[in-house]
Amino acid sequence: MTSSIDYTEKIPNNVDLTGDRRLQRALEGWQPKFMSWWAEMGPTLATNDVYLRTAVNVGREGWAHFDHVRVKEYRWGIFLAERESDRRIAFGEHQGEPAWQQVPGEYRADLQRLIVVQGDTEPASVEQQKLLGLSAPSLYDLRNLFQVNVEEGRHLWAMVYLLHAFFGREGREQAEDLLIRNSGSPDSPRILGAFNEQTADWLAFFMFTYFTDRDGKYQLGTLKESAFDPLSRTCEFMLKEEAHHMMVGTTGVDRVVERSAQLVREHETMDIGPHGGIPLEVIQRYLNFHYTVSLDLFGSEQSTNAANYYTAGLKGRWREERRTDDHRLADHGWRIDCITDGELAEEEVPALLALNHDLRNEYIADCETGVKRWNRILADAGIGFRLRLPHPGFNRRVGVYAGYHVTPDGQVVDEHTWERGRPHWLPTDVDLTFVASLMHPVYERGKIASWLAPPRNGINGKPFDYEYVHLS
């Protein structure tokens, strides 16, 4: 296996597709279906070309090539990180055994399920972002949207490769279904809740790429630990691409906060809506929404699924190899959140059952770093307002808090109090309509919309006013 990617193939790859004619034919059969899905459900805005990065190598250095390409001609392909010789399973009951190059029969259904769930999120996000190009705040942002979209498309390819290569007819059927379910569809919705929500405007896009893509980072991080080596290697390379998506989110929110702070100072009012900015309270409500629907993506705090995946070696913990325990966890107990007699409390449960909670906590700590950054921008501008993450029980539909009303401060309240507080805590129709009213496309080179600051850096050393996109 080499790390360079063969672009002379119909499907660029580094998995020696030509060596497996059946698999190659099956994937070449799926390719036109992917292309029609992209044409129908992918970005609506027509472009001549976009300054995009394409993977040319999976090694550590210089893996990406940047150029203007026609989006339709983007070379989606199959890229796995290099195989580590003698990789061993790091956790669970098979700890120490060689990693699997094939799927063991007894874990087939569970592995397939994990791959399908992961695969389902990738096209879902493209569908959610379909219309955003029509209202991009600058050519730089428009380019980033396309970059995120083509790479999510490639991540779908990554999961479809695994389904075709290792799961036979059922895998091929599942790969077809990934193109049939659609975000928000009443008949065949996407599997996980957050991927059926709308990403209606660019503030939502930045929040999504900050909070929801970050769930992707953590879930891919746990699948990278998998004993099933092809899954591990594909996730490792996906994580490399994913870093850019989170940069788009982090700096996107930075720039909105920076611009709002400027307007607050300039006009000496928090009510900056009439001056073309997004009020900080509205930013907080968007944050509350996107953070909490993303918390739901971690599943229940107590999960036998998670315990079984771990014991079997299918899905590890975040940075499994850095943990200093026995990597089996059979005799450990952990404290997790619960609600007892209507009050927030904690209970001790077997550690294996608490793995979703463990991953969620890693994620929350990471989310805090963004909030700190944004608050530094506010502090530097001499503004007293602070953004914050709401309590993990707030606005939850999955897990121990589902069915309760918990305020952002962590008070369990009755329905009436919840309904009264809701317009202060979650985006209202007025907020959404107002933010939508700011979403005018700015396609002129070097220009930017009123509601966010320009980025500090361009892409690949290019300036902000580079012609990142040529519209048709």
Minimal CA–CA distance to 128: which of 67, 176, 69, 192? 192
* 66-74, 212-220, 413-421, 457-465 -> range binding ligand BYC (CB under 6 A): 212-220
Cβ nearer to ligand BYC, comparing 69 with 231:
231
Instruction: Yes or no: say if 459 and 51 are a contact pair by the CB < 8 Å rule.
Output: yes
Per the document, the length of the chain is 472
Asked if residue 212 binds ligand BYC (CB under 6 A), the reply is: yes
Q: Minimum distance between the CB of residue 213 and ligand BYC, rounded to whole angstroms?
A: 4
Asked if residue 234 binds ligand BYC (CB under 6 A), the reply is: no
Asked if residue 356 binds ligand BYC (CB under 6 A), the reply is: yes
Asked if residue 114 binds ligand BYC (CB under 6 A), the reply is: yes
Number of chain residues interacting with ligand BYC (CB under 6 A): 25
* Separation between Cα atoms, residue 143 and residue 151, nearest integer Å: 12
Asked if residue 306 binds ligand BYC (CB under 6 A), the reply is: yes
Q: ∠ at Cα 341 (339, 347), nearest 5°?
A: 40
Long-range interactions of 258-264: CB distance < 8 A, separation 24+: 258/377, 258/381, 258/452, 258/453, 259/450, 259/451, 259/452, 259/453, 260/451, 261/377, 261/378, 261/381, 261/383, 262/381, 262/453, 264/381, 264/383
Positive or negative CA dihedral for 66, 71, 76, 81? positive
Cβ nearer to ligand BYC, comparing 296 with 358:
296
Asked if residue 452 binds ligand BYC (CB under 6 A), the reply is: no
Asked if residue 297 binds ligand BYC (CB under 6 A), the reply is: yes
* 41-49, 111-119, 224-232, 373-381 -> range binding ligand BYC (CB under 6 A): 111-119
Asked if residue 241 binds ligand BYC (CB under 6 A), the reply is: no
Identified binder of ligand BYC from the candidate list 13, 112, 125, 234, rule CB under 6 A: 125
Cβ nearer to ligand BYC, comparing 90 with 307:
307
Cβ nearer to ligand BYC, comparing 297 with 412:
297
* Separation between Cα atoms, residue 471 and residue 46, nearest integer Å: 7
For 345, half-sphere exposure in the C-beta direction (CA atoms, 13 angstrom radius) is 8
Minimal CA–CA distance to 74: which of 29, 138, 7? 7
Cβ nearer to ligand BYC, comparing 248 with 389:
248
Asked if residue 305 binds ligand BYC (CB under 6 A), the reply is: yes
Cβ nearer to ligand BYC, comparing 224 with 259:
224
Minimal CA–CA distance to 174: which of 241, 104, 108? 108
Locate all alpha helices (DSSP H) within 10-86, ordered by sequence.
Answer: 21-41
* Separation between Cα atoms, residue 229 and residue 372, nearest integer Å: 37
Q: Minimum distance between the CB of residue 195 and ligand BYC, rounded to whole angstroms?
A: 8
Q: Residue 88 has which token pair?
A: 């061993």
3-state secondary structure 68-135: EECHHHCCCCECCCCCCCCCECCCCCCCCCECECCCCHHHHHHHHHHHHHHHHHHHHHHHHCCCHHHH
Asked if residue 219 binds ligand BYC (CB under 6 A), the reply is: yes
Asked if residue 111 binds ligand BYC (CB under 6 A), the reply is: no
Q: Minimum distance between the CB of residue 208 and ligand BYC, rounded to whole angstroms?
A: 7
Asked if residue 204 binds ligand BYC (CB under 6 A), the reply is: no
Cβ nearer to ligand BYC, comparing 193 with 441:
193
Asked if residue 350 binds ligand BYC (CB under 6 A), the reply is: no
Minimal CA–CA distance to 199: which of 135, 125, 251? 125
Asked if residue 215 binds ligand BYC (CB under 6 A), the reply is: yes
Cβ nearer to ligand BYC, comparing 305 with 311:
305
Identified binder of ligand BYC from the candidate list 27, 77, 122, 147, rule CB under 6 A: 122
Asked if residue 395 binds ligand BYC (CB under 6 A), the reply is: no
Q: Minimum distance between the CB of residue 414 and ligand BYC, rounded to whole angstroms?
A: 25
Identified binder of ligand BYC from the candidate list 12, 77, 92, 216, rule CB under 6 A: 216
Instruction: Yes or no: say if 468 and 51 are a contact pair by the CB < 8 Å rule.
Output: yes
For ligand BYC, the binding residues in 154-193 under the rule CB under 6 A are 192-193
Using CB under 6 A, list all residues that contact ligand BYC.
114, 117-118, 121-122, 125, 152, 192-193, 212-213, 215-216, 219, 296-300, 303, 305-306, 315, 356, 398
